[in-house]
Structure 1
C-alpha cells in the first residue's frame, strides 16, 4: 500500500479539495434560496432543498459501503464525483416538488460516496501522524469550503437564480484531478478478506453517536443564530459575516486538533468539544448580546473543529482495513443524520431561547454519554 511519504502534494491537495464538496451540497443554493425555491416550484418548502441531500446520505449510506468494497476507493470516488456534478447541475432544469426533491435525495447519495471514499483514500495513502494531520486538514477544508462556496453562491445568485447550480460542476474538475493525480490503492493490503462481515464495535458506536450529536449541536446553532442576531439588529450581510467567522474559528480549531488529541487523548478531546458546545449554547440562551454572541461563536466553532475531524480519524483507526469503506459510510450517515435532525429542534422549542436551552441540555447529555461510555469501555478492556 502506498504510504504518506510517497504521496504527492497534488494528490493531497486533490483529496482536500474533494472534502469541500460535502458541505457545498447544500450551501451553494442558500444565498438565493427563496428565488430558487420559487422557480423550481417549491415556494413553501425551500428548506427541504437544503436538508433533503442530508436525508439522502442517511438512506444510501449502507449501499455506499458495499459499493466501495466492490469497486475500490478510487473508482468509487470517481463515480461519486461524476454523479455529484450531474445530479447537482440538472436540478436547474427540473420542476415540481417530487422530481426536484427526488433529485436532491439522489444527490445526497452521491455526496455519501464522495465523502466516504475521499476519507477512505486519505486513510489508505497516509498513516500515523501524517494521517491525523491530513484528516485535520480535511476538517479545515470542509469549513473553508462553506465560507468560499457561500460567498461565490451569493455572487452568482445575484446574477440569476440558475447560476449557483453551476458550482456543482466543480465536482467534474475534481474528477479530472483525481484521475490524474491520485493513485489507486488496495483495501486488502493488510490481509483482510474483502466482504468479511464483522459487528460494529462499541467504540465505533460511540464515535458514530458523537458525530451525530456534534452535527445536531452545531447546525442547531446555525439555524437559530440568524433569528437571534436579527433581534440584535444585525443585517443579513452582517449575519452572514458572523456565520463565516464561526467557520473560520472551526478551521483554526481543526488545525490544532492533532496537537490537543496527542496531549490529552482522543476521547478527552471529544469530551472537550462537547463542553465547548455546551458553553456556546448556554451563552446564546442566557445573554443575547453582540459581545456574548462573539464568545459563543468562538466556543461553537471550537466544538466543530475539535470533533468532526477527530471522529473521522477515530473511525479510520478503529476499523479493520477491509471494513473501512463500510464504516466510513456509516460515519457519513451519522454526520448527515445529525444535520438533518437539527432542523426539527424548533418542533420542541417554541422560541429561539428555548432552542438554545434544548441544545444546551443535549450537549450536557453528550458530555455525560461520551465520558461514561469511554470509562466503561476502558474498564472492560482492562479486565480482560
Structure 2
C-alpha cells in the first residue's frame, strides 16, 4: 500500500471534521456572545452592590470553572470516552448559557455562568484532542489552523448576533447558546470515539508538568490576560472615545474575530515559514502594537485599527500554542496537557478584568490599554531573546 493510500485511509470523513470545527466555535461564542450586552446589563443591575465588577465577571467567571474542571474532564474523557464527555458538556453548555434568558439576579447569573464554564471545559479539551486523534501528525497544522479559523468565524457570528440582540435587550444574546443543541445531534451522529491509547504508550508518555509545557501554559495565560482587555473593556472604551452603541461595538469586535479567521486559514502557510517560538513572538508583538494604538486612540477609526492588529495576535494564539503543546508531548499525554492548557487560557480570561480594574480605577481605560501593550511587548522580547539564545547554543554546539 502506497503512502498516499495510507494517508487516505487515515483521513477521517469530512462530516467529522466539520462537526468538530462547529463544536469548536462554541468555545469562543461562550464569551463573545454577551460582550455587546455588558453596558445594558450594568444599567439593569445598577442597584446591586458591586454591579460594575460583577457584570464583567458574568463574562469571565466561566474561566474560573474551566480552570478547575478542564484537567478533571480531560482525565475523565480518557477513561469513559471523549465523545461521551463532549456530548454531556454540550448539554451543560446549553443549560448554563441559556439560563441568562430567564434568571434575574447577578448571583443566579453567575451560577449559570459557572455551569456554562464546566461545559466549555469539556467541549474545548475533547474537541481539540479528537481533532488531533483522528488526523495524522502531518495534518495537525492544517486542522488546528482550521479550528482557529472556525473559532474566529464563530466569534464573528456570535458578536453580530449578540450586538443586534443586545440592541433590543440585554437578555437577547443568551439565546445564541441554544445553537449547541443541533451540534449535539451532529456529534452523536458523525463523531466516533478515537482508537484507545495503548497502555504502554500511556504509561511512558511525558508528564504534562514538564518545564517546557509549564512555559507554554504561561505563554497562553499572559496572552489571554493582555488581549482579553478588548472584549471586557472595549464596549466601554468605544462608547467613551467614539460614542459607539452595542451594535457598533459588537461589529468592531466581530472584525477582530474576522481577522482571527483569516489568520487561521493561512496558519499552515505561516507554520511552514516560522517556528513556534517565532510565531509566539509575532503574536505578542501584534498584541503590543494593537493595544497601544487602542489606548492612544482619540476616535473610533483609530481604535478600530488597533483592534484589527490585536486580531492578528489572537488569530495566531490558539493554533500556535495548541500546536506547540501537541508537538511537545506523546499522544498518551496529549489530553492531559491540553486540559492544563485550557485551564491556563481561561484562568487568563478570569484574571484579566480583576487585574485591569485597579489600573482602570487609578489611570483610566486608555492608559490601561497602553500598559497592557507594554506588558505584551516585554513578553515578546523575552520570547525572542530565549529563541535567539537557543539558536546560538545550537550553532555553537554544531561541528565546525
Query: Is the structural similarity TM-score above 0.5?
Result: yes
Aligned with 2:193: secondary structure? coil
Q: 2 CA distance for matches of 1:340 and 1:189? A: 36
Query: Do the aligned partners of residues 93 and 244 (structure 1) sit closer, same or farther apart at CA in structure 2, a change above 3 Å counting?
Result: closer
Q: How far 1:4 sits from its partner (Å)?
A: 7.7
Q: How far 1:171 sits from its partner (Å)?
A: 1.7
Partner of 1:362: 375
Task: For 1:1-384, list aligned pairs within 5 A.
Answer: 5-33=10-38, 38=44, 44=51, 45-157=54-166, 162-189=171-198, 191-193=200-202, 198=207, 200-236=209-245, 237-343=247-353, 344-349=355-360, 350-374=363-387
Q: 1 CA distance for matches of 2:34 and 2:7? A: 38
Query: Do the aligned partners of residues 52 and 5 (structure 1) sit closer, same or farther apart at CA in structure 2, a change above 3 Å counting?
Result: same
| Contact 2:291–2:372 (CA under 8 A) maintained in structure 1 | yes
Q: How far 1:166 sits from its partner (Å)?
A: 3.4
Q: Which moved further from structure 2: 197-206 or 328-337? A: 197-206
Query: Do the aligned partners of residues 162 and 354 (structure 1) sit closer, same or farther apart at CA in structure 2, a change above 3 Å counting?
Result: closer
Q: How far 1:180 sits from its partner (Å)?
A: 0.8
Query: Do the aligned partners of residues 282 and 100 (structure 1) sit closer, same or farther apart at CA in structure 2, a change above 3 Å counting?
Result: closer
- Please, what TM-score do these two structures have when normalized by structure 1? 0.88
- RMSD of aligned alpha carbons: 3.0
Q: How far 1:19 sits from its partner (Å)?
A: 0.7
Q: How far 1:127 sits from its partner (Å)?
A: 2.1
After superposition, give the CA deviation of every residue in 1:23-71 in whole Å (9 maximum; x if it has no partner).
1223333344466674899682322221111111112223122212212
- Please, what TM-score do these two structures have when normalized by structure 2? 0.85
| Contact 2:59–2:232 (CA under 8 A) maintained in structure 1 | no
Aligned with 1:192: secondary structure? helix
Q: 1 CA distance for matches of 2:151 and 2:346? A: 14
Q: How far 1:239 sits from its partner (Å)?
A: 3.0
Q: 2 CA distance for matches of 1:118 and 1:3? A: 22
Structure 1: state its 5+ residue gaps: none
Q: 1 CA distance for matches of 2:318 and 2:105? A: 35
Q: How far 1:355 sits from its partner (Å)?
A: 0.6
